[in-house]
Structure 1
Amino acid sequence: MNSADTSSTASKASLYVAIVVFTAALVLLLVAAGIGNAAQTPQARAPMSVVTGTVKVQQQFETPISVFGLVESPKSTSLSFDTGGQIEEVLVEEGDAVSKGDIVARLDTQRLRAQQEELNASLVRVKADLNLAKINNDRTQSLVDRKLESAQRLDETNASLSVANARVDEIEASLNSMKVALDRAVLYAPFDGQVNRRFFDEGSVVNAGTAVIGITSNEKFQARFAVPADIIDQFDIGEPVIIQIGEQNAAGVVTQRLSVRNIQTRTVDILVTLNSNDKVRPGDMAILFGARSHNEQGSWLPVTALSNGLRGLWRVFVLGDAAQSESGTALEARVVEVVYTDGNNAFVRGALKEGDRYIVDGTHKLSPGQRVSAASASTQAQTQTERKSYSELSAPESGGQSGAQNSAQYAGVQ
Structure 2
Amino acid sequence: MRVLLGLMLLMNAHWAWADNQGAEKEGLPVAAYSLQQATGFHQFRQVTGQVVKHQEAEIGFEFSGVLEALYADQGDTIKKGQILAKQNTQLLEIEKLELLANLDKIKAQLTLAQQDSERLLKLSKSNYSAQQQLDQNRSQIAVLKAEIQVLNVKLKGMDVRLDKAHLKAPFDGVIAMREVSIGEVVGPGQIALRVLEQSNSEVRIGVPQNLLSNIQPMMPITIGGSVYQAQKRSGGTNLDPISRTVQLRFALPSDAVVFSGQMASMIIAKKREKLGYWVPMSALTNGTRGTWQIYQIEQGHLQPTAVEVLHSDGQYAFIDGDLENGTKILANGTHKVAANIKVDIVQSVATRGEQQ
**Is the CA contact (8 Å cut-off) linking 1:53 and 1:358 kept in structure 2?**
yes
Give the direction of change, closer, same or farther, for the CA distance of 1:310–1:81 in structure 2 (3 Å limit).
farther
Give the direction of change, closer, same or farther, for the CA distance of 1:151–1:348 in structure 2 (3 Å limit).
farther
Single out whichever of 148-157 and 222-231 deviates more from structure 2.
148-157
Give the direction of change, closer, same or farther, for the CA distance of 1:267–1:189 in structure 2 (3 Å limit).
closer
Q: Is 2:353 aligned against 1:382?
A: no
The 5-angstrom pairing of residues 94-113 of structure 1 reads 94=74, 104-113=84-93
Question: Which residue is equivalent to 2:243?
Answer: none
Question: Which residue is equivalent to 1:271?
Answer: 252
1:371 maps to amino acid:
N
Question: Which residue is equivalent to 2:280?
Answer: 302
Question: Which residue is equivalent to 1:317?
Answer: 295
Secondary structure (helix, strand or coil) at the match of 1:378 reads strand
Whole-Å separation in 2 of the counterparts to 1:146 and 1:60: 114
2:323 maps to amino acid:
L
Q: Shift in Å at residue 49 of structure 1?
A: 5.8
Aligned partner (choices 297, 301, 310) of residue 329 of structure 1: 301
Aligned partner (choices 72, 79, 84) of residue 64 of structure 2: 84
Q: Is 2:329 aligned against 1:358?
A: yes
Q: Shift in Å at residue 123 of structure 1?
A: 2.5
The 5-angstrom pairing of residues 51-66 of structure 1 reads 51-62=31-42
1:170 maps to amino acid:
V
Whole-Å separation in 1 of the counterparts to 2:292 and 2:126: 123
- Between structure 1 and structure 2, the one with the greater Rg is 1
Whole-Å separation in 2 of the counterparts to 1:135 and 1:262: 75
The 5-angstrom pairing of residues 33-48 of structure 1 reads none
Query: How many pairs were matched up?
Result: 326
Q: Work out the percentage of aligned pairs sharing the same amino acid.
A: 26
Aligned partner (choices 159, 166, 169) of residue 186 of structure 1: 166
Structure 1 residue ranges without an equivalent (≥5): 1-37, 236-240, 390-414
**Is the CA contact (8 Å cut-off) linking 2:277 and 2:319 kept in structure 1?**
yes
Aligned partner (choices 260, 271, 274) of residue 234 of structure 2: 260
Q: Shift in Å at residue 109 of structure 1?
A: 1.9
Give the direction of change, closer, same or farther, for the CA distance of 1:65–1:345 in structure 2 (3 Å limit).
same
Q: Shift in Å at residue 177 of structure 1?
A: 1.8
Structure 2 residue ranges without an equivalent (≥5): 1-15, 239-245
Higher RCO, 1 vs 2 (CA within 8 Å, ≥6 residues apart): 2
String of CA shifts for 1:267-303, please: whole Å, max 9, x gaps.
34132355xx9xx774676667775544332221112
Q: Is 2:340 aligned against 1:371?
A: yes
Cα root mean square deviation, aligned: 5.0
Whole-Å separation in 1 of the counterparts to 2:31 and 2:316: 17
Single out whichever of 224-233 and 198-207 deviates more from structure 2.
224-233
Whole-Å separation in 2 of the counterparts to 1:48 and 1:197: 70
- TM-score using structure 1 length: 0.58
Give the direction of change, closer, same or farther, for the CA distance of 1:372–1:311 in structure 2 (3 Å limit).
closer
Q: Shift in Å at residue 203 of structure 1?
A: 1.9
Give the direction of change, closer, same or farther, for the CA distance of 1:232–1:330 in structure 2 (3 Å limit).
closer
Q: Shift in Å at residue 179 of structure 1?
A: 1.9
**Is the CA contact (8 Å cut-off) linking 1:334 and 1:352 kept in structure 2?**
no
Question: Which residue is equivalent to 2:4?
Answer: none
